[in-house]
Amino acid sequence: MHTGLPPSPWVQRFAGLLQPGGAVLDVACGGGRHLRWLAGQGYAVTGVDRDEAALASLRGLAELIVADIEGGPWPLPGRRFDGIVVTNYLWRPLVPQLLEALGPGGVLIWETFAAGHETIGKPSRPDFLLQPGELLRLCAGLRVVAFEDGFEGGGQGMTPRYVQRIAALRAPGGAVTAPRYRLDAPGR
């Protein structure tokens, strides 16, 4: 669906918080716009999606897992990642598994549609739209580095949309407070 599109500026901006060369999970990766970009940045990427045909063009770039993460068991039990990327996808029952898969010092980068989007297009079902501040609540046990919740009017080839985004970290080594993270790191 998003094949050929550049990676999200949100993902690009906060990928600099990931451990260099770290293991990154791209959830519902589809055609792999983020998987390709992350692999090109030197990360060890694992992509999971239920569409085997969409994953076919990604062979050799990353570890690929064909799985129905909504209707089947979590395909990565016990695995931990230095980063998890989720874009244009929301399945609330999966959140506990995603948070469990985020290792110490790990970064969660999530961007998807928010309430209000039903007034301008699809997705329009409440099941697929985040409620105001919902990502903040879902990530309550993590350190939030950045959060946005609002409307983008389009421009630069982007379609107008209501969106919610978060970049959040699991404190390394069980620390009570996480260290400061650079928001102006080189390459952003």
Judge contact between 164 and 156, C-beta under 8 A: no
> Tens of pLDDT along 46-94?
999 999 999 999 999 999 999 999 999 999 999 999 999 999 999 999 9
Given this model, what pLDDT does residue 5 score? 79
Q: What is the length of the chain?
A: 188
Whether omega before 9 lies within 30 degrees of 0, making that bond cis, reads: no
Given this model, what pLDDT does residue 184 score? 66
At residue 112, φ and ψ (nearest 5 deg) are: -155, 180
Judge contact between 171 and 108, C-beta under 8 A: no
Task: Return mean pLDDT, the chain.
Answer: 88
Given this model, what pLDDT does residue 1 score? 45
Domains of the chain: 9-174 (3.40.50.150)
Higher local confidence (pLDDT), 113 or 158: 113
Mean pLDDT over 109-120 rounds to 83
Sort strands 161-169 and 143-152 into parallel, antiparallel or unpaired.
Answer: antiparallel
Higher local confidence (pLDDT), 188 or 44: 44
Distance CA 127, CA 112 (A): 12
Distance CA 181, CA 107 (A): 11
Given this model, what pLDDT does residue 88 score? 92
- With 90 as the cut, is the pLDDT of residue 97 above it? yes
Higher local confidence (pLDDT), 17 or 160: 17
Given this model, what pLDDT does residue 117 score? 80
Question: What is the distance, to the nearest Å, from the Cα of residue 12 to the centroid of all Cα atoms in its chain?
Answer: 11
> Tens of pLDDT along 121-169?
787 788 888 889 999 999 999 999 999 998 988 666 678 888 999 999 9
Degrees to nearest 5, angle at CA 30 with 29 and 33: 70
Mean pLDDT over 2-12 rounds to 82
Per residue in 14-53, is it b (16+ CB within 10 Å) or e — as a string?
bbbbbeeebbbbbbbbbbbbbbbbbbebebebbbbbbeee
- With 50 as the cut, is the pLDDT of residue 188 above it? no
